[in-house]
Amino acid sequence: MAKKWGHRIKSWMTTQMELPQDVMMDLPRITMIGQIHIYIENHRGLIAFSDKEVRLLLKHGQLLVKGKAFVIKTILPEEILLEGKIDQVVFLKE
């Protein structure tokens, strides 16, 4: 029950204060440019990396990015910029 109320309060604050949902709800923000760049903010860490797959920890689950020729261009504690050919972006539940 407490989780439900917490979610409602955050939703109300987001609407009333005009704050971005990704900030208030601790959601990842994903920006893609075609199939060649993906910029992910608000992740919890890099779990796995190869030239074909990137797996990131999120607050609720994981994010899996599949493709080819991946190169990490920028990596910061909560942000990553990935280049390559992106085929799939999948949310995985915990």
* pLDDT score for 8: 73
Structure tokens given for 38: 């993906």
Question: CA angle, 17 as apex, 14 and 57 as ends, to 5°?
Answer: 35
Is the pLDDT score of 21 beyond 70?
no
pLDDT band at 26 (very low <50, low <70, confident <90, very high): confident
What is the CATH code of the structural domain delimited by 26-92?
Answer: 2.60.40.2000
* pLDDT score for 51: 98
Is the pLDDT score of 2 beyond 60?
no
Name the residue with tokens 């779990």: 47
Domain boundaries, the chain: 26-92
The 10s digit of each residue's pLDDT in 31-72 is 999 999 999 999 999 999 999 999 999 999 999 999 999 999
| Over residues 81-90, mean pLDDT | 98
